[in-house]
Amino acid sequence: MVEAKGGGIITHTVRVTVGADTLTYDPCCVHANPGERITWEIGDHHGLAVIIKAFEGPLEARTLSARMGEPSITATVRRDAKPGFYPYALVAATRGALLVADPEIIVPPPDGRGGR
């Protein structure tokens, strides 16, 4: 889901769902331009972490986390983020396990071409 929030900033929302032994997310990858935001929502009272696998990732931090009970994580794509495909680990903590998924953030070239 993509929407403009306060001040016209575009926010991409990734909905994270924790099952008995699975972690699912929608959409599977986020196409975000510099200056846009990404929010990962997890409403199930689980801890959540986003870990960028690239040495120099597109977000202001390489690791982001929300404690159990916090409903979301929001990050901004750096203004100087280089175009590319950025795999990241999405990790949810349950009472008995850590569940991991491997989606990606895609920063398109400035002319908007080059997506999948």
Here the CATH number for the domain that contains residue 57 is 2.60.40.420
User: Is residue 39 domain-resident?
Assistant: yes
Is residue 16 within 8 Å of 48, Cβ to Cβ? yes
Q: How confident is the model at residue 39, as a pLDDT?
A: 96
User: Is residue 112 domain-resident?
Assistant: no
User: Is residue 116 domain-resident?
Assistant: no
User: Is residue 115 domain-resident?
Assistant: no
| Structural tokens at position 98 | 């850590």
User: Is residue 113 domain-resident?
Assistant: no
User: Is residue 33 domain-resident?
Assistant: yes
Tally of domains in the chain: 1
Q: What is the residue range of 60's domain? A: 2-105
Instruction: Going residue by residue through the chain, which has 116 residues, state the pLDDT in tens, using 9 for 90 and above.
Output: 666 655 688 999 999 999 878 899 999 999 999 999 999 999 767 889 999 998 889 999 999 998 888 899 999 999 999 999 999 999 998 878 899 999 999 999 987 554 44
Q: How confident is the model at residue 115, as a pLDDT?
A: 45
The DSSP bridge pattern shows strands 84-93 and 47-52 to be antiparallel
